[in-house]
Structure 1
Amino acid sequence: MMTPPTTNASADIAIPEAHPNYRHTKIIATIGPATDSEEMLGRLIQSGVDVMRLNMAHGTGQWVQEIVARVRRVSKQVGRDVAMMIDVKGPEIRTGPVDAPITLAVGDTLRLCVREADVSADASVGVTVNYPDLPRDVGVGATVLVDSGLMRLRVLEIDEFTVHCEVLTAGTLGSRRHINLPGVEVKLPSLTEKDKDDLRAGVEAGIDFVALSFVRRAADVDALRDFLRELGSPARIIAKIEEQAGVRNMKNIIRCSDAIMVARGDLGIEIDFHRLPLVQTELVQACQAEGKPVIIATHLLESMISSPIPTRAEISDVCNAVREQADAVMLSGETTTGSYPVESVEVLKHILRSTEPSVSSQLNDRIKLIEPKDKMLRSSAILAQDLGQSGILVFTRSGFLAYTLGALRPRGVPIFAFTDIEPIYRQMLLPWGVEPFLMEFSDDPEVTIRNALERLRNNKWCPSGAWLGVITNALAHEKIIDTLQLRRVP
């Protein structure tokens, strides 16, 4: 079975006839100044990126529409499609602007003021904070982390509008620095007005996924889903787990989301950093139990922002994500402002290709399969693995079959998913091992199957004579039944 030179998610990976080595793990790349030109987008798409991410912490609605249109245009030019993800900024607590950077030494006092008038009311240094409930949400002795955790403060005293802190870690405080409150469940809305404006623009542009930042509870996801429904958007929701409340409520969040992102940047600040790998594993396994895709994000190849090669530790980190069988790995700074964006994707591909064959071919035994059709999908995975040099062919208008098969993790078995609905086609670029195709369906199921088999053969996905397990509906005595067929590529 050979992979064609240009198609969808794993277009770059050849599958040797004797030893299948099919890329199951998907690659997500974030678009930024280093990659937003048509030339660079084309190189990223051709290099094997499956999903393009737009970070709205640094973007506008107009930018979203321009970039999505540009990506779609370039995709047509190079003959390979990618999905588009918009990552909304979400609720953030930040310090206000300062006239000049403030140098703070250990033992200094820093006042965090929710009213600007209080900043100069005391001889000690003060800055504004954009969270009015800060004095009510933190207690004396609590830890406050500033500037992505680089500066550590301890709360000494609280009054109605000001939190007085002792500096525990020296540093320089600039304008609008991010604040983390470990263990505090802040009373901020899950969607800000900026998020809603960005989403309106994204929906109009035709985004496929929405990543929701700082998800604390299932209700946050429900609120976003209601908003997308009002906009008439079919986009799927990726809940970002990046604070303690999200970790505590992970099971409920996973159940109501379409996918999960392990956002290790803020998460590594919110929890004890030495527990981060353990929490990552827990999140991956919880997603596998619910049959939901999971993305590992942040700092995968951070050194490649300025270096043409990764560190050995970064290689091991990506390898670990593959062995845990995450659905996707994501690049951020590496492809937004880095000097080696395409090289970063190439490095990821090499690690994936080297690591995946070493992963156990045992199916995911954490997932709970209740419906008979789910169990039929598991049977198709077992059959394809036993056949060797095989694959699974499914036809879907919801993506359910493809997502479930991906969740089963049949290593070495391509999942060829055909649909006639364009948004579903692109959304199937995310789950593990799924290779989606957009094709019109015939009223005659047999014609649809034959057309799919011929397309796989003609595009060199499968050689003539290869056996595939085919999941489809069949008409028997005027009743539609689910079937698992064994078909040979003509």
Structure 2
Amino acid sequence: MDEASRRPRCTKVVFTLGPATQSEEMLEQLIRQGADVARINMAHANHEWTRMIVRRIREVSQKVGREIAIMMDIKGPEIRTGDVEAPIDLKAGETFDFSVRPGTADDSPEEIRSVDVNYENLIEDISVGDIVLVDNGLMRFEVLEKVGPRIRCKVLISGQLTSRRHINLPGVRVSLPAFTEKDRRDTLVAIEEGIDFIALSFVREGSDITALRTFLQENKSKARIIAKIEDQSAITNLEEIIEECDALMVARGDLGIECPIEDLPVIQRRAVRACFDRGRAVIIATHMLESMITSPVPTRAEITDVANAVYEEADCVMLSGETTVGKYPLECVRTLDRIARRIEAEGELVFEEPALLDGEKIKVLQSAVVLANELPNSAILTFTRRGFNAAALAALRPARAPIFAMTNSVQTLRHLRILRGVDPFVMPLASDPNDTIDNAIRLLQRNQRVQVGDKLIVATDILSNDRFVDSVQLRTVR
């Protein structure tokens, strides 16, 4: 086996579950292909299906011998139009009403058509001159006035309005709670089923994450929180959001609607840099390989987009519709794998070192990374019970060396699945550090990660005068 094939891919792959990927056969193929995290989108999943698919993933993971993580993406606050009896064809220049009280849409003047909205306080949150975007921005309206329970608008972009279309309000601060009652019910299912990550939608400030974390702690859950940034408030409060969360998702779908499209690459790069500085994992999501929903090959632009995320050293890239309803879910994961491996082989570092990571422990781990960068074809070996060592090493971004993380906890292993460059294993951690290191090296040899003559930089603690001290060792595989 050559060096390139032995080295694990650094960039992790998240795929979204759906009809195209829910079978045991497809799950087994995806896990064997190297998918790291399975995402459940609660905007489309019920509790019965969620429990079924979580248990199926765990069973298939055990069968394959490779535990993957599971993320529940909770819906968060959402504003939608109500039901319409038939599609409404809207023309630019037309006047149209949004009614915030169910059943009052019909009270609009006869010449003005209207639709209900599911959020009554919208009338207080919105102002004259604000823009209302409907159905992923395909229709655009400008607020002219507020008349009783109705928001009167001018149609700026024509379109066909159907039932329950999503509404975006660029720049408008809505008073909806970030963690809704539906989210609470869904999260309880996640806790009961032992789901590893909860992705909180439409995070606007750090306190939104605090509310979810309090709920998890009250219910004795150790699930990690992924904050999804999707609107302008999140961009304004990016630093405090990153400080409070365990990982960040750049959800480019709604961001591309809420923000000027030319700002999207700048926001993505800024978010990756800010996460890097604070040692947080970051996921780039939405439209990575959108064309492959129906095509067996990606567009050249999509290849470059994925490559750019890898060049930026994002921890994960994520698939959505490509693996929920797409025709080629396995090919999508293979495509991400091929692109990531090719770009990683270039070995180009984008960032020199995190700006905000500090402390003696970090300095010791940083010395391990420096040594690994100086030794071609080396790897880093570390041991962790709760994931700190591995997360810190991942944040320090070794240029080429993979990070082999040994833990005695399956839960910790799953939490490590989203970290760039970390290849986690479960093994007992012996009381004697030397025995633990020897056992780990044998485990890596059995799994064909290392071979005789390879250099390992071991970042661990050693016993000295009856106490454990941090150390960095250089070992050659025998």
User: TM-score, normalising length from structure 1?
Assistant: 0.95
Asked if the contact 1:367–1:408 (Cα under 8 Å) also holds between the matched residues in 2, the reply is no
**What number of residue pairs does the alignment pair up?**
476
Q: Does 1:102 align with 2:88?
A: yes
Amino acid at match of 1:312: R
Aligned to 1:416: 404
Shift of 1:361: 4.1
Superposed CA offset, 1:167-223 (max 9, x none): 111111111100001001110111111111111111111111111100000000011
Aligned to 1:87: 73
Q: Does 1:112 align with 2:103?
A: no
Shift of 1:22: 4.3
1:415-434 alignment runs, 5 A limit: 415-434=403-422
Superposed CA offset, 1:271-312 (max 9, x none): 001111111111111111111111000000000000111111
Aligned to 1:322: 310
CA RMSD, Structure 1 to Structure 2 (Å):
1.4
Give secondary structure in 2 for the equivalent of 1:329.
strand
**1:67 maps to which of 53, 60, 65:** 53
2-side partners of 1:476 and 1:43: how far apart? 47
Asked if the contact 1:361–1:412 (Cα under 8 Å) also holds between the matched residues in 2, the reply is no
2-side partners of 1:411 and 1:162: how far apart? 57
**2:344 maps to which of 347, 352, 356:** 356
Asked if the contact 1:470–1:484 (Cα under 8 Å) also holds between the matched residues in 2, the reply is yes
1:383-398 alignment runs, 5 A limit: 383-398=371-386
Asked if the contact 2:283–2:315 (Cα under 8 Å) also holds between the matched residues in 1, the reply is yes
1-side partners of 2:321 and 2:426: how far apart? 32
Q: Does 1:142 align with 2:130?
A: yes
Aligned to 1:128: 116
Q: Does 1:14 align with 2:14?
A: no
Asked if the contact 1:369–1:375 (Cα under 8 Å) also holds between the matched residues in 2, the reply is no
Amino acid at match of 1:24: C
Q: Does 1:174 align with 2:162?
A: yes
> Which aligned segments of 4 or more residues in structure 1 are displaced greater than 3 angstroms?
361-364
Bigger drift between 369-378 and 265-274 goes to: 369-378
1:203-218 alignment runs, 5 A limit: 203-218=191-206
Aligned to 2:15: 29
Structure 2 segments unaligned to the other structure (5+ residues): none
Amino acid at match of 1:405: L
Amino acid at match of 2:463: L
Q: Does 1:450 align with 2:441?
A: no
Aligned to 1:190: 178
Amino acid at match of 2:94: D
Amino acid at match of 1:487: R
Give secondary structure in 1 for the equivalent of 2:84.
coil
Shift of 1:78: 1.8
Amino acid at match of 2:19: P
Asked if the contact 1:301–1:344 (Cα under 8 Å) also holds between the matched residues in 2, the reply is yes
Aligned to 1:18: none
1-side partners of 2:336 and 2:299: how far apart? 12
Bigger drift between 109-118 and 138-147 goes to: 109-118
Asked if the contact 1:390–1:467 (Cα under 8 Å) also holds between the matched residues in 2, the reply is yes
Distance change (3 Å), C-alpha of 1:363 and 1:390: farther
1-side partners of 2:274 and 2:95: how far apart? 42
Structure 1 segments unaligned to the other structure (5+ residues): 4-12, 16-20
Amino acid at match of 1:378: Q
1-side partners of 2:420 and 2:400: how far apart? 11
Asked if the contact 1:238–1:258 (Cα under 8 Å) also holds between the matched residues in 2, the reply is yes
Superposed CA offset, 1:298-339 (max 9, x none): 000000000111111101101111111111100000000000
Amino acid at match of 1:252: E
Aligned to 2:36: 50
Shift of 1:404: 1.1
2-side partners of 1:382 and 1:169: how far apart? 55
Aligned to 2:215: 227
Asked if the contact 1:44–1:342 (Cα under 8 Å) also holds between the matched residues in 2, the reply is yes
2-side partners of 1:55 and 1:77: how far apart? 25
Q: Does 1:262 align with 2:250?
A: yes
Shift of 1:358: 2.1
Amino acid at match of 1:231: N
Instruction: State the identity %.
Output: 51
User: TM-score, normalising length from structure 2?
Assistant: 0.97
Give secondary structure in 2 for the equivalent of 1:117.
coil
Asked if the contact 2:347–2:400 (Cα under 8 Å) also holds between the matched residues in 1, the reply is no
